[in-house]
Amino acid sequence: MKKYLCCFVLALSLFAGCTAQDMAKEYGGTVTITVPADEKFVNITWKTGESRSNLWVLTRKRVPSDTKETYKFHESSAFGLLQGTVLIVEK
């Protein structure tokens, strides 16, 4: 019983300080970023700091000819494990 409790506490401590972005990047999963209605998505990048990483999204003002789109960024890891996905949804 103590072994299971120790494993649970260890797993909980690994995920306790993680944001959804951190979880998707480090452990796989999906995070959705919604771009405001008057903005158009241009690019995305990660900024990695000492304790966590931040997702930076580059947008521009939407012009009337722009269409609303959804973008899917999917990690392709070497062994196919813990692959993360970031969805960018324009509203």
* pLDDT tens-digit series, residues 26-52: 677 888 999 999 999 999 998 877 766
Answer whether residue 38 is part of any domain. yes
- The whole model's pTM is what? 0.68
The first and second tokens of residue 55, run together, are 């997702």
Total domains in the chain come to: 1
Q: Give the domain extent around 80.
A: 18-90
Cβ count within 10 A of residue 37: 9
22 pLDDT band, cuts 50/70/90, is: low
Rounded CA separation 9/16 (Å): 10
Tens-digit pLDDT profile for residues 45-74: 988 777 667 889 999 999 999 999 999 998
- C-alpha distances in Å from residue 40, one per residue of 56, 74, 77: 14, 20, 29
9 pLDDT band, cuts 50/70/90, is: very low
- Amino acid identity at 87: L
